[in-house]
Amino acid sequence: MNATPSTASPTLDVQSARLRALPTYLFHRLDKAKAEYRARGPGKPLIDLGVGDPDRPTPDFIVSALRQAVKNPSTHRYPPSKGSAKFRQAAARFMDRRFGVSCDPDRHILACIGSKEGIAHLPLAVVDSGRTVLCPSLGYPVYHAGAVLADARPVNMPMREASGWTPLWEEVSPQDVQNAALMWVNYPNNPTGASVPLEFYAQAATFARDNSIMLASDQAYSELYYSEVTPDSLWKANGLDLEADPFIEFHSLSKGFNMTGWRIGFAVGNRAVIDALAKVKGPIDSGVFSAVQEAGIVALENYDHEDIAALRAMYTERLDATMDGVQKIGAKAQRPGAGLFIWAQCPKGPDGQPMDSWDFAMRSIDEAGVSLVPGAGFGNDGTHWFRIAMTVEAEQMAEAFERLAAIDWTA
Ligand SMILES: Cc1ncc(COP(=O)(O)O)c(C=O)c1O
């Protein structure tokens, strides 16, 4: 019997409730405004200080390592999902040489397909549905998304300028603290550019232990620093113990080695947490391409290579140009000691108060062809702030701020 084709439109809800609960990606609105500016052309070319994606190529010594590795057919097969023993050993050596943290590559290290993959999957591995995930109120959106995708509830820890943009967990409601299974911290911080001393991690660990919460630290920007004080590992803090504390830290090769597209990072954590994350990855992905792991080994073994130091020197020049520019537009910013971003308070608007960050960002694109990220896109604590990514050359950074300085923001 032939079924009569239905003419009614299907009512199937394609997206799960989980997906529908995900917030819209911050960059969609900016992308639309940028496309409109370009379509209006021929204006001045758009200067994009938005997405934190390093503009320079991956250093040659890492690219050469990939070229070599990819010629070896053994790299063409499925990689070990946890990362090769050699990659995990290189990661452990890096932890030791760079941070003075000693760990066992077999028990404490797990390769990730970029740290984002591990960050997104962690709640699936360690948080039961309905539990709370404590997230910085200004932060990388994946902490929230990972919680939502695990049917958990993201709850913000407020962050303010007066407390150095550290998460104020003492302001979270006792019910949310009691229900919390996981808590994220991220320094050098995206978006605020803030850094923390080691005591911060000791305090976070105490709070986490006292409330039976797993602590997760995101160190994606640890290799971009501009002062003598280099970012530290959570595991270096007083009293922290890889064997005893159910905590985890994520490292990335993306920003410090200009390898964002390669998709490689690693987690270093307590064995039970590493095993849980590896268990989630097992049925979902098949690990990092082995040739990329080989190149990653060369990167980690040579983290002190002159090309990496030159990258930091280049960012220092950009930082100088940006700090000058920020002053020119009457915005307020603290010079960051590390990271890829400068976080600045919006210039004063018609009412004499710092402008709303979306108004400022939209006018910057529309009137100056300069794209910045409105702080409100990260969370309410950023309503009057904006983020500048140091992802164009110093001369272009300077030009961006000259264009912005020509605008009367009080009009
Ligand atoms: C704070 C933070 N953590 C983690 C990541 C993820 O980096 P990747 O997946 O490239 O290692 C990013 C990327 O922008 C980030 O800003």
Per-residue pLDDT of 48-73, as tens digits, reads 999 889 999 999 999 999 999 999 99
Q: Which domains does the chain have, with CATH numbers?
A: 23-52+306-405 (3.90.1150.10), 60-301 (3.40.640.10)
E strand or H helix at 374: strand 373-374
Q: How far is the CA of 9 from the centre of ligand 1 (A)?
A: 40
What tokens appear for 259 in the block? 């390898």
Rounded Cα–Cα distance for residues 200 and 206 (Å):
10
Query: Which residues are 341's β-sheet partners?
Result: 389
* Cis, bond preceding 246 (omega within 30 deg of 0): no
Cα 119–196–217 angle (5° rounding)? 15
Query: What tens digit of pLDDT does each residue of 154-205 get?
Result: 999 999 999 999 999 999 999 999 999 999 999 999 999 999 999 999 999 9
> Which atom of ligand 1 is the closest one to the Cα of 340?
16
Cβ neighbours, 10 Å, residue 157: 24
Rounded Cα–Cα distance for residues 252 and 274 (Å):
16
CA-nearest residue for atom 3, ligand 1, is 220
Query: What tens digit of pLDDT does each residue of 255-284 get?
Result: 999 999 999 999 999 999 999 999 999 999
Q: Is 190 in the pocket of ligand 1 (CB under 6 A)?
A: yes
Q: Which of 93, 82, 97, 109 lies closest to 268, judged by CA?
A: 109
The full DSSP string for 178-223 is HHEEEEEEESS-TTT-----HHHHHHHHHHHHHTT-EEEEE-TTTT
Q: Is 256 in the pocket of ligand 1 (CB under 6 A)?
A: no
Rounded Cα–Cα distance for residues 360 and 330 (Å):
13
> Which atom of ligand 1 is the closest one to the Cα of 260?
10
Say what the pTM is: 0.95
